[in-house]
Homo-oligomer: A and B are copies of this chain.
Amino acid sequence: MRIGELASRTGVSVRSLRYYEEQGLLKSSRSAGGQRHYTDSEVERVTFIQRLYAAGLSSRTIAELLPCVESPSEENSETSLERMVQERDRLSQHIADLMRTRRALDGVIAAARTHRENQRATAVVGSRQGSGACTAP
């Protein structure tokens, strides 16, 4: 398939696909006229690249890891296994942080809802006001 189709299948812009190639994350065969052609497997590859970007990896790091993903041959395995583990651990740490933030957000949301209920009760009954403090744990 040509680049436009790959773009629409993956939801990644044509510009970005060319950029990925420039960064060594993606390869393409060229037609006689110089147009890029891709196989179906590149679709998966591109979405995986996007995933890694979303996980906060830089293109340089992705470039280091991808060869190992596609074909675990000696040269890259030994060199980048350590790096992959390191990135995985970093990702784990990041996930833990995000979950903590989510808990904090949940707390704030709950407090806001409680407050709203109190408001409503106060408006109707004219009693009990005051709200619980909400701090990040």
Contacts and interface: CB of A to CB of B under 8 A. Distances in A.
Contact of A109 (B52, B84, B95, B104): B84
A136 B98 CA distance: 23
Contact of A69 (B85, B91, B116, B134): B134
Interface in A34-52: 44, 47-48, 51-52
A109 B83 CA distance: 10
Q: How large is the interface on A (under 10, 10 to 19, 20 to 34, 35 or more residues)?
A: 35 or more
For this chain, the copies found in one complex come to: 2
A102 to B, nearest CB: 5
Interface stretch (A1-9, A24-32, A74-82): A74-82
B105 A95 contact: no
A21 interface: no
A54 B134 CA distance: 20
B131 A72 contact: yes
15 contacts: A51-B100, A54-B94, A55-B98, A65-B108, A68-B108, A72-B111, A73-B115, A74-B119, A77-B112, A77-B116, A81-B109, A81-B113, A91-B105, A95-B95, A95-B102
